[in-house]
């Protein structure tokens, strides 16, 4: 955009990056790197100590988040065991306003994110209210999807997928780097669906309305809907997380199959 630059990155580009990090993404500092075509996934700022699970866990949202995280640990530990691998669960930090991370300072405006450098899921509980009030995605399962998506990024980190994407992005132009970011996010959506499949089999806690709530949450935070809300214009080449249709599709694909092998969003590039 003419006249709007900040360190080589247009103001709209910065806005897209921050919005992208706000909705089920990785740390906002990483998102800014992805928009520029340079991933910071493996380049931590000064690491800071994280004390496991912290924050207002006495809050009902905090308790619910902890329960869902424990469920993801059960599911992924079993999935990894069947593949003769050991699952190392992420840490959880529930924060308000600001929190130190190994990816820089986590801020409330970033919403939920995963930091690969300290293998921690960061959750700001106010995002749950935003999900309900601004994005018409109420219900426990919509919130569970938030946590499961971030854990999906942790699975990618353990499997080396994040590192592979980082390497490809460093050799790519901006448009291709954005496309790689989209495929990474869609795979995390699919992994969230894998968790939902196994959790439902184990606990039978979801009815059709719950499932629709999760699918709707995935659709509501697509890049196309976010851009339309924020700037009134949809720019597909600037997508970093995928369209609402793509996110809904891949979450449903993981939920239907229950198999991580069905989540190769890099090989199957449509949708």
pLDDT higher for 169 or 39? 169
Segments making up each domain of the chain, as ranges: 5-263
- Dihedral sign of CA atoms 230, 232, 235, 241 in order: positive
pLDDT higher for 18 or 116? 116
Task: Give the pLDDT mean for 179-183.
Answer: 95
Look at residue 108 in the predicted model and tell me its pLDDT: 65
User: Got the DSSP string for 220-251?
Assistant: HT-HHHHHHHHHS---GGG-SS--HHHHHHHH
**Contact between 145 and 151 (Cβ < 8 Å):** no
User: Which residues are within 8 A (CB) of 42 and not within 5 positions of it... i.e. 6 or more apart?
Assistant: 116, 117, 163, 166
**pLDDT single digits (tens) 66-81:** 999 999 999 999 999 9
Which residue, chain included where needed, has tokens 């790689």?
Answer: 180
pTM, entire model: 0.78
pLDDT higher for 107 or 65? 65
* Bond into 271 cis (ω within 30): yes
Taking the C-alpha atoms of residue 104 and residue 113, their distance in angstroms, rounded to an integer, is: 12
Q: pLDDT tier at 137 (50, 70, 90 boundaries)?
A: low
Look at residue 37 in the predicted model and tell me its pLDDT: 28
Per the prediction, the chain carries an average pLDDT of: 79
Look at residue 171 in the predicted model and tell me its pLDDT: 94
Helix axis angle, 140-159 relative to 161-170, nearest 10°?
70
Q: Dihedral angle at the C-alpha atoms of 150, 17, 166, 84, nearest 10 degrees? A: 10
Q: Supply 270's token pair.
A: 């449509």
Look at residue 130 in the predicted model and tell me its pLDDT: 74
Angle at 17 between CA 119 and CA 126, to 5 degrees: 65
**pLDDT single digits (tens) 3-60:** 333 333 333 333 444 444 444 444 444 444 333 322 233 333 333 333 344 444 556 7
């Amino acid at each position: 955009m003419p006249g709007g630059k900040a360190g080589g990155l247009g103001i709209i580009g910065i806005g897209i990056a921050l919005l992208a990090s706000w909705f089920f993404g990785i740390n906002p500092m990483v998102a800014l790197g992805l928009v520029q075509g340079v991933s910071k996934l493996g380049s931590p700022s000064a690491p800071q100590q994280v004390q496991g699970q912290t924050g207002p866990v006495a809050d009902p949202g905090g308790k619910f988040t902890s329960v869902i995280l424990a469920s993801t640990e059960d599911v992924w530990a079993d999935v990894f065991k069947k593949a003769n691998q050991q699952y190392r669960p992420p840490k959880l930090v529930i924060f308000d306003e600001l929190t130190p991370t190994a990816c820089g300072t986590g801020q409330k405006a970033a919403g939920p994110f995963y930091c690969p450098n300290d293998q921690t899921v960061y959750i700001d509980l106010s995002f749950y209210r935003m999900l309900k009030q601004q994005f018409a995605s109420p219900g426990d399962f919509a919130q569970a999807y938030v946590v499961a998506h971030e854990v999906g990024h942790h699975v990618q980190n353990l499997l080396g997928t994040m590192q592979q994407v980082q390497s490809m992005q460093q050799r790519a132009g901006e448009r291709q780097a954005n496309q790689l970011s989209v495929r990474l996010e869609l795979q995390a959506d699919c992994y969230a669906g894998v968790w939902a499949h196994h959790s439902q089999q184990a606990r039978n806690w979801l009815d059709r309305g719950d499932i629709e709530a999760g699918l709707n949450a995935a659709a509501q935070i697509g890049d196309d809907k976010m851009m339309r809300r924020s700037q009134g214009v949809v720019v597909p080449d600037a997508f970093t997380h995928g369209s609402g249709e793509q996110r809904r599709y891949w979450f449903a694909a993981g939920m239907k199959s229950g198999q991580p092998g069905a989540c190769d969003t890099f090989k199957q590039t449509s949708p």
